[in-house]
Amino acid sequence: MFMATTLFISGCATQQQSLYEELGGAEKVNQIVENFVIQIETDPTILPYFEGSDIDRFVEKLSEQICALTGGGCVYSGDTMEHVHAGMNITEADFNRTVDLLIRAMDAADIPHRSQNKLLKVLAPTRKEMLYR
């Protein structure tokens, strides 16, 4: 009986925490995005895509998008994924490579793999909006 009550309470607590909170909130999400930029800047294949880009804007909009998609309460104010990645002709290989850079960025921010996978799952649907466009 006691066990059942305990499980019920902890179940509720888990449901209330957003993925944003689980990741560590604004501080950790900003850390992930900053680390992601460092990874991009040192990757000879992905960096050329960002030539001429406003990196400050990228950091701001990606942080906001992650916050919005993970229940952090932000409203994404950037361009649509279709629009922003149009004309880049992003290949599947380069998309996967970019995801690897994001994983390294999350590793460097000490995000547990369980939480990393949840974020990747949330971002996965954006894939079809940007490949070969």
To the nearest whole angstrom, how small is the minimum distance from the Cβ of residue 12 to ligand HEM? Answer: 31
Site for ligand HEM in 79-118 (CB under 6 A): 79, 84-85, 88, 90, 94-95, 98
Helix (H, G, I), strand (E, B) or coil at 110: coil
The long-range contacts involving 35-40, CB below 8 angstroms and separated by at least 24 positions, are 35/104, 35/105, 35/106, 35/108, 35/109, 36/62, 36/101, 36/102, 36/105, 38/105, 39/101, 39/102, 39/104, 39/105, 40/98, 40/101
- The length of the chain in residues reads 133
Q: Which stretch binds ligand HEM (CB under 6 A): 4-12, 18-26, 28-36, 76-84?
A: 76-84
Q: Which of 49, 74, 86, 104 binds ligand HEM (CB under 6 A)?
A: 49
Nearest residue to ligand HEM, by Cβ distance, number only: 78
50 is a site residue for ligand HEM (CB under 6 A):
yes
Please report, as ranges, the residues that interact with ligand HEM according to CB under 6 A.
46, 49-50, 53-54, 57-58, 61-62, 65, 78-79, 84-85, 88, 90, 94-95, 98, 123, 126, 130
